[in-house]
Homo-oligomer: A and B are copies of this chain.
């Protein structure tokens, strides 16, 4: 089988963020080491070598594909290692601990939808658990083949070779796109048409359209058109019982929306192979600046005023002062709101002025000179620095993890009237949990990634010095407390990172019981052998 050497997509290095060969730069490394020393007193910065394939001993594959599927499949150790985890803190920590226990028995690289159908047929009959794999950037255990008992083996279904834009409709501004298409390839194929999906999650370079749809991905933009949910005209879901696909329509009121069952199903009901997606013209008008506040609560109220005014900024990101400092968007003396408008059609100056008025009502201060710089100006200064830090941050884990730093994030949402108390409770609970788990003082910072008229989506980052031998265990202790606090305070366990395996205990409580039973019934209908991403979303 492996001798047939299937074609493979370009893929992330098996032990960390980025494609093979991509890493933190020497300058970034210097910066992170200085931070570790300054903030956590970590002096010992001896080089910890990155994991190598030959340091792992994988169990023998328990299953082999039939001859007809063998050319698509591999059980080569590097294929298996690369499909063992996503890219969360515990994923990286386990790789640095040279632990790849959940490695799949097989990896399959379908080159067509029929390949997917054939693989699911075989897997259904052979009781092989199938874990759909897009770009592999899950931070919630969504692609880890930890499937429980009752299976003959596990197969990671890598959609990476289904990477093409198949059809573009420039009139309706929509395109039919294969699910394995990663962000940059997707945009590159749309660019000649002057169109964009304009969906830029932090994982943009390493995540796929199918993954975005399956996990209800949130894009970079703060308001209005930012969730992938709203851009799906129709998605094609290959289930073990056949293909489910609705008509391509701009809107419909015919019964519950079939697409909303596929969106967020995280591979538990089937595999998304392609979708018709709504597109936009590329923005050309921009206005942006950053606003400083002396008080986090006042800044939050300014953000609320702006979003409730119906101004729909592209960015409206509140960073608490420590988050601003850590991400180079501020010096730590003020809470910062990054504000930006953009349009492919018309000037955004008036909206910007009105948003600044709202900010001024709550004591916000901004630099008129920066504002006067006009179109494109917001890419410089605080927000430009922030954007760069945002995209580079996931690389830092390969430095912080071997240093023994526990460094993770979680995200949620809550209505405005509960936000202030919610924020205080979550922060306090996470700080206490870090101290209890590690004996060290850690830090918790917060930003808003998305903002709605009825509430924000707060995103928390925590960091604490742990014990290198017990990092995953200590992380888990903190994660449980933080998640319990979210649940108790009425937030969601995930706003856009998805459920995966990590969030199932809290998702089970959050999900209405009867809806859980409906999902089980849906799975029994579409996946009677129960092979699709077992342990995720359903059950």
Contact = CB atoms under 8 A, between A and B. Distances in A.
A497 B413 contact: no
Contact of A245 (B413, B503, B512): B512
Nearest to A230: B230
Given A255-B266, A309-B345, A499-B255, A250 B510 contact: no
Contact of A525 (B218, B250, B518): B518
B241 A490 contact: no
Contact of A251 (B258, B354, B413, B417): B413
A366 B524 CA distance: 58
B415 A255 contact: no
Contacts of A413: 249-252
A53 interface: no
Nearest to A226: B251
A510 B520 CA distance: 24
A257 B264 contact: yes
A372 interface: no
Nearest to A277: B454
B253 A415 contact: no
Interface residues of A, number: 94
Contacts of A257: 229, 260, 263-264
A219 to B, nearest CB: 12
A496 interface: yes
A350 interface: yes
A258 B511 contact: yes
Contact of A496 (B253, B258, B344): B253
Interface stretch (A128-136, A171-179, A374-382, A401-409): A171-179
Nearest to A278: B454
18 contacts: A172-B454, A173-B454, A218-B253, A229-B257, A247-B492, A249-B492, A250-B454, A251-B413, A252-B492, A255-B265, A255-B499, A256-B262, A278-B453, A278-B454, A309-B345, A310-B344, A521-B522, A522-B522
